[in-house]
């Protein structure tokens, strides 16, 4: 599913699933072209976001890693970050329904990647041999429950509604062939020829997250 976050660009409504010629991305007036300060000001510091920041700091402060599970968690984090890079190399926000790359396997590859990163960090930070390590894993289970039970359904309702306004039947066509979250093994062939682009990764400001993930693993490993 393409993400429909704040964006000052206004595409023509009910565009196709993207089988034609793609426009230059990002659009000239898009938030993707804004400077860092402008983008940060556009973000709302909601209680949910603040709670996520507090949880992340707590994870780093109280990490109690064990080498085998730290290694496993690091691999999972790496897979999640790679999936997010692949995702945002195909994503052109609000231009068309993305059906190529990871979007041919799942409609929400960025969320799948985020879930992998979150799971990997909690696995890396805990251990099965003391209360502190076990408490971190229990907190991770609780965090994943909130992610799947509350965060994801809320995002789906908001984003799918906006996407249907923009692209109409193309959204339902994608949904009829591609799972909402857990990926299908074989890609759906929509006929779109869009390819991965590092320019899209940069335009979507995704390169900061691999750096943040690596720094987090270093801090956890030193815990």
Tally: H helices and E strands in the chain: 9, 0
Whether residue 28 is contained in a domain is answered as no
Whether residue 136 is contained in a domain is answered as yes
Whether residue 108 is contained in a domain is answered as yes
Residue-level length of the chain: 223
- Encoding tokens for residue 173? 């066509």
Whether residue 57 is contained in a domain is answered as yes
Q: Output the CA–CA distances (angstroms, integers) from residue 119 to 113, 126, 160, 200, 219, in the order listed.
A: 10, 11, 25, 26, 16
Mean pLDDT of 173-201: 93
Structural contact between residues 165 and 94, judged by C-beta atoms closer than 8 angstroms: no
Whether residue 1 is contained in a domain is answered as no
Whether residue 11 is contained in a domain is answered as no
How many domains are there within the chain?
1
- Per DSSP, the three-state class of 140 is helix
Closest C-alpha among 130, 135, 161, 128 to residue 55: 135
pTM of the full structure: 0.83
Structural contact between residues 178 and 184, judged by C-beta atoms closer than 8 angstroms: yes
What torsion, rounded to 10 degrees, do the Cα atoms 57, 121, 38, 1 define?
-140
pLDDT tens, 18-70? 454 456 666 666 666 666 566 666 667 677 778 888 888 999 999 999 999 99
Whether residue 196 is contained in a domain is answered as yes
Whether residue 19 is contained in a domain is answered as no
Residue 184 has pLDDT above 50, yes or no: yes
Query: Domain range spanning residue 187?
Result: 47-221
């Amino acid at each position: 599913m393409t993400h429909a976050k704040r964006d000052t660009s206004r595409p023509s409504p009910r565009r196709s699933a993207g089988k034609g010629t793609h426009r230059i991305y990002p659009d000239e007036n898009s938030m993707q072209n804004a400077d860092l300060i402008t983008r940060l000001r556009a973000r709302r510091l909601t209680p949910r976001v603040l709670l996520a920041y507090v949880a992340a700091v707590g994870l780093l402060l109280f990490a109690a890693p064990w080498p085998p599970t730290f290694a496993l968690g690091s691999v999972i984090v790496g897979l999640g970050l790679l999936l997010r890079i692949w995702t945002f190399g195909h994503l052109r926000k609000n231009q068309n329904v993305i059906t190529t790359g990871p979007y041919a396997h799942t409609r929400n590859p960025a969320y799948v990647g985020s879930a992998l990163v979150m799971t990997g960090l909690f696995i890396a930070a805990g251990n099965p041999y003391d209360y502190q390590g076990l408490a971190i894993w229990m907190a991770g289970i609780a965090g994943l429950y909130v992610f799947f039970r509350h965060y994801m359904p809320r995002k789906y309702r908001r984003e799918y509604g906006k996407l249907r306004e923009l692209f109409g039947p193309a959204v339902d066509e994608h949904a009829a062939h591609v799972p909402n979250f857990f990926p299908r093994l074989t890609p759906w062939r929509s006929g779109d020829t869009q390819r991965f682009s590092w320019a899209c990764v940069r335009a979507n400001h995704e390169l900061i997250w691999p750096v943040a993930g690596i720094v987090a693993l270093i801090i956890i490993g030193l815990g």
